[in-house]
């Protein structure tokens, strides 16, 4: 089973329309809201790929109830810590012709130290009660939790013998890498912030050095694929050729593909590469986060020659 952790989830709305006009009314067609947040997106992809998955995190109010119910309808087991503050709502506007997206993302409800302590106890309880193939710690931290909180969760998972895939950015990522997560999946901008340099070649060098201390660093490059760093060796893999419809959630699907491939094959780098890129490409070419399983199978088939 895969455990996804989303500490700052959201109800995601996506609207498709023409070219975005600033400081004006932008009308378009919307699709049903999603139970969002990076970890929840990943949980949905894991379930779609046929893996048992449990989604946890912190949620509250009617929006939190929506997220629980929507995930459960998709066959995902949920066990969130309930808080009084309502979960946030995000909006993405996607330009249909260009595929460019604009996001409006509130920071989320402020929590206190008591909420952080309660979730740590909740998390440890889940680790004691279940045997997880891998834990995915995903997304931003809600205001009020310490910047090194993911490091605390990584240490807790390690104490139970469970490996962690970390998909976050900024200070939470920088504060967690010293705790040796098993995998991290920064995009180029996130990796530049982590390494403190701009040149892509130097970023890859720094990530290669980091990969000597953890299992895998996957540098995602959108339409250019990804660079996978393992034990100081970098491998660049091109993505499947697809038409981008909605890039929102593609990075989350990439991380889910990594987790699922690890759950099925263990630490098999070629399979990790292919599953991650295929899952990300499927979401990029779909209106929403999820898609039909057959799309993944056909996309994966195009990755069979990837080395």
Q: Is 178 a catalytic residue?
A: no
Query: 23-31: long-range contacts at Cβ-Cβ below 8 A with a sequence spacing of 24 or more?
Result: 26/93, 28/93, 28/96, 31/287, 31/288
User: What's the gap between Cα 293 and its chain centre?
Assistant: 19
Read off the DSSP letter of residue 187: B
Kindly name the residue from 12, 34, 167, 252 that is annotated as catalytic. 252
Segment holding 171, helix H or strand E: helix 170-176
Going from the C-alpha of 93 to that of each of 25, 30, 173, 191, the distances in angstroms are: 12, 9, 27, 25
Residues 194, 202 contacting (CB under 8 angstroms):
no
Task: Identify the CA nearest to 255 among candidates 170, 156, 168, 167.
Answer: 167
What's the rounded Cα separation, in Å, for the pair 39 and 138?
Answer: 5
Residues 162, 127 contacting (CB under 8 angstroms):
yes
What's the rounded Cα separation, in Å, for the pair 118 and 113?
Answer: 9
Residues known to be catalytic: 252
């Amino acid at each position: 089973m895969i455990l996804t952790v989303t500490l700052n989830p959201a109800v995601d709305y996506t609207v498709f329309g023409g070219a975005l006009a600033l400081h004006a009314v932008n009308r378009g067609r919307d699709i049903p809201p999603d139970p969002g947040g990076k970890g929840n997106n990943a949980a949905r992809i894991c379930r779609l790929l046929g893996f048992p998955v449990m989604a946890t995190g912190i949620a509250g109010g009617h929006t939190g109830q929506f997220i629980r119910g929507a995930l459960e309808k998709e066959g995902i087991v949920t066990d969130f810590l309930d808080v009084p503050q309502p979960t946030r709502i995000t909006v993405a506007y996607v330009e249909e012709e260009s595929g460019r997206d604009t996001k409006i993302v509130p920071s989320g409800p402020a929590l206190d130290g008591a909420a952080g302590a309660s979730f740590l106890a909740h998390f440890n309880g889940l680790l004691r009660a279940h045997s997880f193939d891998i834990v995915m710690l995903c997304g931003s931290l809600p205001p009020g939790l310490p910047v090194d909180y993911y490091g605390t969760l990584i240490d807790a998972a390690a104490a139970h013998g469970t490996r962690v895939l970390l998909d976050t950015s900024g200070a939470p990522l920088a504060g967690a890498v010293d705790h040796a997560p098993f995998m991290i999946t920064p995009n180029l901008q996130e990796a530049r912030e982590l390494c403190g340099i701009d040149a892509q070649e130097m970023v890859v060098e720094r990530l290669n050095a980091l990969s000597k201390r953890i299992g895998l660093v996957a540098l995602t490059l959108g339409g250019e694929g990804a660079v996978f760093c393992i034990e100081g060796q970098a491998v660049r893999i091109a993505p499947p050729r697809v038409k981008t419809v909605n890039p929102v959630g593609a990075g989350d699907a990439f991380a889910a593909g990594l987790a699922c491939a690890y759950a099925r094959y263990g630490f098999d780098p070629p399979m990790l590469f292919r599953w991650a890129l295929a899952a990300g490409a499927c979401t990029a070419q779909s209106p929403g986060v999820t898609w039909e399983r057959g799309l993944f199978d056909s996309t994966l088939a195009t990755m069979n020659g990837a080395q």
